[in-house]
Amino acid sequence: MTPRFPAEGGCDCRTVRYRLETAPLFVNCCHCRWCQRETGSAFVINAMIESDRVTVLGAPPEMVPTPSASGQGQTIARCPKCRIALWSHYAGAGPLVSFVRVGTLDDPDLLPPDVHIFTATKQPWVLLPEGTPAVPEYYEREKLWPAESLKRREALRPRIEAYLATRHKGA
């Protein structure tokens, strides 16, 4: 079954609503201890998508700078009222790529994980499904991403490089 897009989601109080205009680049289920602590759960499922393909429909989220395991930090888009985390921007691509929390979609069943990452630290009672790649830490994008997603990322790369160059100038 191919998920249908656009797909909408939002926070619990419905103050912040958003729409994914297209399918994401890739969906990962992260089992790292950092994500476990941050979510209060055994893992988080993130759909990576170009930020210009995420349309905010309701009030804008509050962008909250937060530490990350890399030491470079992340910015989490949270509802200013109910504080639900809707997506993150990580240092590698900054605000150009959104890691949307799949659980905040109106129909989270649309986006099962394409890969399970950081399984070396997964909770021992979590059973991973057969047929879905799983790696102890991170994966090689070129080996797992579909060709169309790699092409989309390649188109985005000059903007990412320009963003990173501005960050390094300010450092």
Map residue 30 onto helix, strand or coil. strand
Which of the pair, 69 or 11, is modelled with greater confidence? 11
Residue 15 has pLDDT above 80, yes or no: yes
Average pLDDT on 113-130 reads 96
Residue 169 has pLDDT above 80, yes or no: no
Confidence of residue 160 (pLDDT cuts 50, 70, 90): very high
pLDDT of residue 2: 57
- If you ran DSSP here, which 8-state letter would residue 55 be given? E
pLDDT of residue 101: 97
Long-range contacts of 145-149 (CB under 8 A, 24+ apart): 145/25, 145/26, 146/26, 149/25, 149/26
Confidence of residue 166 (pLDDT cuts 50, 70, 90): confident
pLDDT of residue 171: 52
HSE-up (13 A, CA, CB side) for residue 155 = 10
**Domains in the chain, CATH or no CATH each:** 7-170 (3.90.1590.10)
pTM: 0.92
Burial (CB < 10 A; 0-12, 13-18, 19+), residue 35, is buried
Map residue 149 onto helix, strand or coil. helix
For the stretch 47-81, pLDDT in tens is 999 999 999 998 999 999 987 777 777 899 999 99
CA gap 29, 6 in Å, rounded? 21
